[in-house]
Amino acid sequence: MRIEQIQAFVAVSETGSFGGAAKLCDVAQSTISRQVQNLESHLKTSLFHRQAKAKLTVAGEKLLPHAKRICQEWEKIEDKIEHLLEGEQSELCVAGIHSVCAYFLPPILQKFCQIRPQVQLRVTALGSDRAIKVLRDGLVDIAVVMNNRYLTSTSDMVIKHLYHEQIQVLVSHDHPLAKKESAIIGYLAPYSQIIFKDGYGMQRMVQEVFTNHGYEMDVAMELNTLDAFRGVIRQGNFIALLPESALLESKSDSTLATVPIIMEYNDLTTYKLTREVILITTKDRLQIPTVKDFFDLVDDFSKEKN
């Protein structure tokens, strides 16, 4: 059963003829006849008495009020989708990792509000893996997250690389590591760690780094706010591996210290441990002008910064 069949049925019932219905729907009479015949075939009963004036059968009388409601609802749906594709969207939902929400997004949010004052922004700070999941579930329109190729490498996703940022170690100012200019993973393994909770890309990344280097992590606790990380690290001998953007306030705090991490490759080459931050949405959402405006703003802002 198709909506065109329902519309043809209602048009014939309203005009009293197949010819009148064809004029009303601006199609050929044969098209109206075929649509009604297909509907009757689907329902396994006649809907009209074929006379000089098309008269509803008993089955047609039963169908008519429901068919009218279906047509009315379909018109409402068409209007809503038309408005959506024209950019008439009342709200835009964005998910981002905590450091992005705190330091990267604010100027973009302000500019978007100037461009689209009629759109209410809803911004939620989430872990990367969780943010990607709610995007895929349709709960947000766009996300700025740490890349997880296991979750983002699907054909329906549109991804833009934004930047790489270095991962460093956060320690208290009197921690044994605080005096080092840099640290390799082997230096970090003996210390108990504070890590992000499940659903955060940083938790997965840190665990993979230690596992790949043959070390077991001693996890003291899991947290999910930067203030909590700083507070706990400040008090004791714990360490935490955090991205550089999450350490901006820590660098000006005399009770804390940050140490770059140096990775070793084949005992000959060293490189910095980094994470990739991406902008992500789905192909269908990118067709919506409001979503595309925000997507382009984030992309342009990242290019300007880099």
Angle of CA points 48, 52, 58, to nearest 5°? 25
Q: What is the pLDDT of residue 76?
A: 80
Q: What is the pLDDT of residue 265?
A: 65
Angle of CA points 63, 64, 67, to nearest 5°? 85
Give the integer Cα–Cα distance in Å for 43 and 216.
Answer: 66
Give the integer Cα–Cα distance in Å for 57 and 49.
Answer: 6
Give the integer Cα–Cα distance in Å for 8 and 212.
Answer: 65
Give the β-pairing of 193-196 and 219-223.
parallel
Which pair of structure tokens corresponds to residue 1? 């059963």
Domains defined for the chain, CATH in brackets: 3-85 (1.10.10.10), 89-306 (3.40.190.290)
Q: Is this prediction's pTM over 0.75?
A: no
Which pair of structure tokens corresponds to residue 21? 């219905």
Please give the C-alpha separations between residue 180 and each of 166, 169, 188, 260, 273, in angstroms, as whole numbers: 17, 11, 12, 9, 16
- pLDDT (tens place) for every residue of the chain, 306 residues total: 789 999 999 999 999 888 888 988 889 989 989 999 999 999 999 998 887 788 899 999 999 999 999 988 888 887 777 777 776 677 899 999 988 998 899 999 999 999 889 899 999 999 898 999 999 999 999 999 999 887 787 888 999 999 999 999 999 999 999 999 999 999 999 999 999 988 888 999 999 999 988 999 999 999 988 899 999 999 888 999 999 999 988 988 999 999 999 887 665 566 788 999 999 999 989 988 899 999 999 999 998 877
- Which amino acid does the sequence have at 237? N
Residues 6+ apart with CB under 8 A from 297: 108, 111, 112, 115
Provide the 3-class DSSP secondary structure of residue 155. coil
- 44 sits in the region (left: phi over 0; alpha: psi -120 to 50; else beta) called left
Which pair of structure tokens corresponds to residue 83? 């408005």
- 100 sits in the region (left: phi over 0; alpha: psi -120 to 50; else beta) called alpha
Give the β-pairing of 91-96 and 142-146.
parallel
Provide the 3-class DSSP secondary structure of residue 36. helix
Contact 291, 285 (CB under 8 A): yes
Residues 6+ apart with CB under 8 A from 60: 9, 13, 46, 47, 48
Give the integer Cα–Cα distance in Å for 306 and 302.
Answer: 6
Provide the 3-class DSSP secondary structure of residue 271. strand
**What b/e string do you get for 220-239 counting C-beta neighbours within 10 Å, with b at 16 or more?**
beebbebeebbebbbeeebb
